[in-house]
Amino acid sequence: MEKSRELQLIESVIEDRAAKLLEANACIHDYAELSYEEVQSAAVLTKILREEGFTVKEGLAKMPTCFTGTWGTGNPVVGFLGEFDALDKLSQESGNPVRSPLQEGAPGHGCGHCCLGTGALGAAIALKEYLSAQGLSGTVIYYGCPAEEGAGAKQFMARAGLFDCCDFVYTWHPSAFNEISPDSSTAIMGANFEFRGVTAHAGGSPWAGRSALDAAELMNVGCNYLREHIRDGERVHYAYGDAGGTAPNVVPDYARIKYEVRSPKVAQVKELFERVVHVAEGAARMTDTQMTCEMTMAFSDSQNNTVLGRIADRALHEVGAPEWTQEDYDLARRFTESYDENSKESVREELRERFGDAALPELLNKPLCSVVLPYNPSAGRAKGGSTDVGDVTYTVPTCEVHVATYAMGTVGHTWQLAGQAGSPIGEKGLLAAAKVMALAAVYTMQDPAAMQAAKEETLRRNGGKYVCPLPDSVDPPVGKY
pLDDT score recorded for residue 163? 98
pLDDT score recorded for residue 2? 84
| Residue 210 in this model has a pLDDT that exceeds 90 | yes
**What percent of the chain is predicted at pLDDT more than 70?**
100
Average pLDDT rounded to a whole number, residues 455-470: 96
pLDDT score recorded for residue 349? 92
Mean pLDDT score of the chain, rounded to an integer?
A: 97
Residues 434, 75, 139, 322, Cα dihedral to 10° = 0
**Tens-digit pLDDT profile for residues 257-273:** 999 999 999 999 999 99
pLDDT score recorded for residue 413? 96
**Tens-digit pLDDT profile for residues 401-460:** 999 999 999 999 999 999 999 999 999 999 999 999 999 999 999 999 999 999 999 999
pLDDT score recorded for residue 33? 98
At 262, give phi and psi (nearest 5°). Answer: -130, 145
Residues contacting 123, CB < 8 A, separation 6+: 80, 170, 433, 434, 435, 436, 437, 438, 441
At 299, give phi and psi (nearest 5°). Answer: -120, 145
Q: Which of 114-123, 136-145, 378-387, 418-427 is predicted with the least confidence, judged by mean pLDDT?
A: 378-387
| Residue 250 in this model has a pLDDT that exceeds 90 | yes
- Answer with the residue of higher pLDDT: 24 or 480: 24
Q: Which of 66-70, 114-118, 352-356 is predicted with the least confidence, judged by mean pLDDT?
A: 352-356
Task: Report the length, in residues, of the chain.
Answer: 481
| Residue 68 in this model has a pLDDT that exceeds 90 | yes
The domains located in the chain, with CATH, are 5-185+302-462 (3.40.630.10), 187-298 (3.30.70.360)
**Tens-digit pLDDT profile for residues 156-192:** 999 999 999 999 999 999 999 999 999 999 999 999 9
Whether this model's pTM surpasses 0.85: yes
pLDDT confidence tier of residue 222, bands split at 50, 70 and 90:
very high
Cβ pair 135, 22 in contact under 8 A = no
pLDDT score recorded for residue 198? 98
pLDDT score recorded for residue 480? 81
Cβ pair 367, 177 in contact under 8 A = no
User: Residue 189 carries which side chain, given as an amino acid letter?
Assistant: M
User: What whole-number distance in Å separates Cα of residue 189 and Cα of residue 353?
Assistant: 32
pLDDT score recorded for residue 345? 92
Cβ pair 104, 93 in contact under 8 A = no
**Tens-digit pLDDT profile for residues 260-313:** 999 999 999 999 999 999 999 999 999 999 999 999 999 999 999 999 999 999
Burial of 212 (0-12, 13-18, 19+ CB in 10 A): buried
pLDDT score recorded for residue 159? 98
DSSP 105: T
- Residue 137 DSSP SS3: coil
